[in-house]
Each structure stands twice: as C-alpha cells, then as structure tokens.
Amino acid sequence: MPAGAAGPAPDLARRLRRGINAYLAEVSDGEFTAKDFRTWQGTVVAAQALGRAAATGDSSPQAVTAAIKQIAEWLHNTPAIARDSYINPRVIELFEKGTVITGKATDAKVRALLT
C-alpha cells in the first residue's frame, strides 16, 4: 500500500475479520478468534519486554510504560488499547512483584508464568 494510503474500507475489513474468525472457529471447534491470538501475542511480547527490564535491574513503573508502548507499536494500537485489551494484566502484576520470565519468551514460559 502506498505511503499515506488508507487501509481497507471498513466494510472490507469487517468481512475479512468475519472470514478469519469463521476459519478459526472451524479449525478450533469454535474456541478461538483472531483477538485471542492478538491478546496472546501482546502478552508474550509484554512478558519478554518486562523480563528484559528486570534483567537490567529495572522494576520501575517506567519499565511497564515502555513495555506497553512496545506492544502498542507491535500491534499497531495505542498504548491504552494495548494495555486494556491485548496484555494479560497478570504479566504486569507479576513483574511488579518481581516475577518474570528469563531468556526468550516462549509460549511454554509465558504459560508457566501465568499458571
């Protein structure tokens, strides 16, 4: 898409979402939507960013803000939407208590962190 061009028309975007969600419902027995995948990706990226911050000794609120901005950029959303809709809040709560993942954020590590 050329620079400055608008994204797909709202109607087209809505139809694409429906098609993707219909496909996901079919292959997952109706258990997942595209938002579930975006939320998981936001949570994994948050766990990685906060793990890196903790590894450098940073446990400040600014580290949380920086992580949220990173997820917002990753998902092409605002920081408020990223935090409210696409990051499992437990990742931030655990970071504030000093519990983070170390090394690369794998699905298994993030699941273990949240359980």
11 within a domain of the structure (yes/no): no
108 within a domain of the structure (yes/no): yes
Half-sphere exposure of 13 (CA within 13 A, CB side): 5
With H, G, I as helix, E, B as strand and everything else as coil, classify residue 96: helix
Average pLDDT, stretch 16-23? Answer: 79
Q: Which pLDDT score, from 0 to 100, does residue 98 have?
A: 94
Taken in order 66, 94, 115, 32, the sign of the CA dihedral is negative
76 within a domain of the structure (yes/no): yes
Give the separation between CA 95 and CA 109, rounded to whole angstroms: 14
15 within a domain of the structure (yes/no): no
Give the separation between CA 41 and CA 35, rounded to whole angstroms: 10
Average pLDDT, stretch 51-67? Answer: 95
Residues 6+ apart with CB under 8 A from 90: 114
**Domain coverage including residue 80:** 35-114
98 within a domain of the structure (yes/no): yes
Average pLDDT, stretch 67-91? Answer: 94
55 within a domain of the structure (yes/no): yes
- Per-residue pLDDT tens digits for 32-57: 788 888 899 999 999 999 999 999 99
Number of domains in the chain: 1
